[in-house]
Amino acid sequence: MQWLIILIALTTAIWFAILLANSPRGRRALLIFSVLDLVGVAAYETYMHAIWEKSVHAPIRIDIFVVDLPLLILGVASGIAGMYRTRSSRAQQ
């Protein structure tokens, strides 16, 4: 489960970063937030899986449902909204 969250977070962060590089300067806030959020989720989950789980006898990972999944959904949703927002600003120009 952890590697799936890390993979989804990093691939969508890379995708939104590419869109961010090609977007006009005016409407980038949602894409910037999305990339930072998704990289943060991937870094947190990597730390929890690689370091924290090794130091505990029986890790119960409730934080996946309380922290990771809501932040992952928020990052993807804000990235999609930012993608459509930059696309609409290009259509107006």
- Asked if pLDDT for residue 74 goes beyond 80, the answer is yes
Res. 54 pLDDT band, cuts 50 70 90: confident
Res. 11 pLDDT band, cuts 50 70 90: very high
Model pTM score: 0.87
The set of residues, in sequence order, having a beta carbon less than 8 Å from that of 89 and lying 6+ positions away, is 24, 26, 27
Domain boundaries, the chain: 2-92
The secondary structure of 44-86, three-state, reads: HHHHHHHHHHHHCCCCCCCHHHHHHHHHHHHHHHHHHHHHHHH
Q: For 12-40, what is the mean pLDDT?
A: 92
pLDDT at 37: 97
Higher-scoring residue by pLDDT: 26, 83: 83
- Asked if pLDDT for residue 1 goes beyond 80, the answer is no
